[in-house]
Structure 1
Amino acid sequence: MMVGYARVSTQDQDTALQLDALAKAGCSAVFQEKASGASRRGRVELARCLASLQRGDVLVVYKIDRIARSLFDLLEILRQLEAVGATIKSVTEPLDTTNSMGVFVVQILGAVAQLERSMIRERSIAGQVAARARGRVPGRERALSREDEAALVAEYLRGGITYQGLGLKYGVSPHVAKRAVYRATKPAEYLRRQRC
């Protein structure tokens, strides 16, 4: 049986392109999810998909990076497939794990995908460092001006108002109000949370 797996990283993205390709490949069952590939713990549908596979089944993906975000992750998935007697196939890449050369090609592609992600991350960090050196802070502009943020914090410290109430009064979400208060009253904890 051909079993498909489609994944996009965020709720805003669409799996339609992958689903069309998997249907065209002849998948009789398709598991899809919108979750980051960074951790397998968050990919519930992938776990269900892998658990459903039996001897002779073919796991079909649009691209190998839809199923694994690192070579280690890919090798673990390949071990699981081998244990149940299933194989994997990509509809956009020449993959066939029914032979040793195909397994080797999958491992090479997984390593290349991991290298590409690492290089993108390094470029992104370098861009942020360069922007900071030019005096620009990466990310979105703050929802509150410095004056409004100072007024909001002062009002919170006087007491008698919730983050919800501050958000309504200043036209921002309660989370924005809370972050403003944390920045002013608990800077070390705020910075620690931002790094997590």
Structure 2
Amino acid sequence: MNGTRVGYARCSTDEQDVVIQTEQLLTLGVPEDRIYIDRGFSGTTRRNRAGLDQALAAVWNGSVFTVTKFDRFARNMAEANEILTDLSGRGVLFGLGGSVYDWTDPFGRLFLQTLAMVAEFEANLGHMRTREGMALAKKNGKLKGKQPKLPEPARRSIRRRYAEGEVSLADLATEYSVGRSTIHRIIHGPETSRWSDHTPKLDVIFRPRSFSAPTAVPGFPDPDHVQGDPHRPLRRRAGRRDLGGRRCHVADAAARHVRQAERLANRSHPAGDRAAGHRGRPGSRRRGCGAGGDGLGPAGVPGLPA
């Protein structure tokens, strides 16, 4: 069958090579120009295996599709049965090492199906061991996900140099031997060091103050009532601030009226105030500013009670 064979070789990672498989296929009589190779692909799926697709397209009626080991061909029973059925329908035989098998023969079909079952079983065992090892590493804190391509000092340097306009994004990608998308994520992405695991997080809860109908002003918090209990008034202080940090203009206006009333009261009874020993607090009944006084207090000031 020299010259009628089409060979296929595969390795799971880019670090592996197919030198041994290629030499064995050449020994079996496969021409060098009819050996198709897939590098870095798993045998559990047919997806994206361009070498396998080319090898299946290169066979013809009466030729032999040849591999050195069955698991190099497939590790999935369903896909293996599908490919072998298609090859058999096109009159192509299946070569495993130095042996040739016919899919239409019951014994040949049984043997190939058994090999496919064993290959899938070995792949499933490998996946199970990998998941167990990852779970144990995650439990011990050794599995922290994919590490960044560049260390944090290099990332800070990239942000600083790009912000200062020293270099362009393409120059940084060439200098650090990474893709432009990686530099773009470093520059425009969040700075992970700013919110590290050692940074304390503050839980701030904002509780809005309630508004009461008699004294509330839209856009300002009610300075005279406490949240949840509107019947407990607070003493108004001149110049108090609202939740946004701005001065409350309503309180400022009231303070100005109070100061004006004090000045008028002091001009009216300077001697009486000194004799009484009062400080001139606005609205005090002791000064005679109320109904029982002499009527010369701040009763005439707008906005203040007589």
Q: Please say if 1:97 is aligned against 2:102.
A: yes
What is the CA deviation profile of residues 110-132 of structure 1, one whole-angstrom value per residue up to 9, with x for unaligned ones?
12212211221222222222222
> Which of 173, 176, 188 does residue 172 from structure 1 map onto?
176
Alignment of 1:116-195 (within 5 A): 116-137=122-143, 142-153=148-159, 156=162, 158=163, 160=165, 161-167=167-173, 172-175=176-179, 176-181=182-187, 184=190
TM-score by length of 1: 0.73
Q: Select the residue among 33, 37, 45 that pairs with 1:33.
A: 37
Q: Quick one: structure 1 residues 185 and 106, their matched pair in 2 at CA, closer, same or farther if it must change by over 3 Å?
A: farther
Residues 183/102 of structure 1: CA separation in 2 closer, same or farther (3 Å cut): farther
Normalised TM-score (structure 2): 0.50
Aligned to 1:67: 73
Q: Is the 8 A contact 2:70 2:116 kept in 1?
A: yes
Note the C-alpha offset of 1:178.
4.1
Q: Tell me the residue number matched to 1:192.
A: none
Is the aligned partner of 1:7 residue 2:16? Answer: no
Alignment of structure 1 residues 14-29 onto 2, 5 Å = 14-28=17-31
**Relative to structure 1, is the Cα distance of residues 13 and 48 closer, same or farther in structure 2, using a 3 angstrom cutoff?**
same
* One-letter amino acid of the counterpart of residue 33, structure 1: I
Q: Percent identity?
A: 26
Q: Is the counterpart of residue 112 in structure 1 residue 118 in structure 2?
A: yes
Give me the whole-angstrom Cα distance separating, in 1, the residues matched to 2:155 and 2:12: 33
Counterpart secondary structure, 1:55: coil
Summarize the Cα distance change of 1:133–1:69 in structure 2 as closer, same or farther, 3 Å threshold. same
- Residue 194 of structure 1 aligns with which residue? none
> What is the number of residues matched between the two proteins?
182
Structure 1 residue ranges without an equivalent (≥5) = 187-196
1:77 aligned onto 2:80: no
Letter in structure 1 aligned against 2:84: L
How far apart are the structure 1 equivalents of 2:72 and 2:28? 16
Pick the structure with more helix per residue.
Answer: 1
Larger radius of gyration: 2
Please give the secondary structure, in 2, of the residue aligned with 1:6: strand
8 A contact 2:38–2:52 mirrored in 1? no
Higher deviation after alignment, 36-45 or 72-81: 36-45
Q: Given the superposition, is the C-alpha separation of residues 145 and 55 from structure 1 closer, same or farther in structure 2, using an over 3 Å criterion?
A: closer
| CA RMSD between the two structures | 3.2
Q: Taking structure 1 as reference, are residues 116 and 154 closer, same or farther at Cα in structure 2, changes over 3 Å only? A: farther
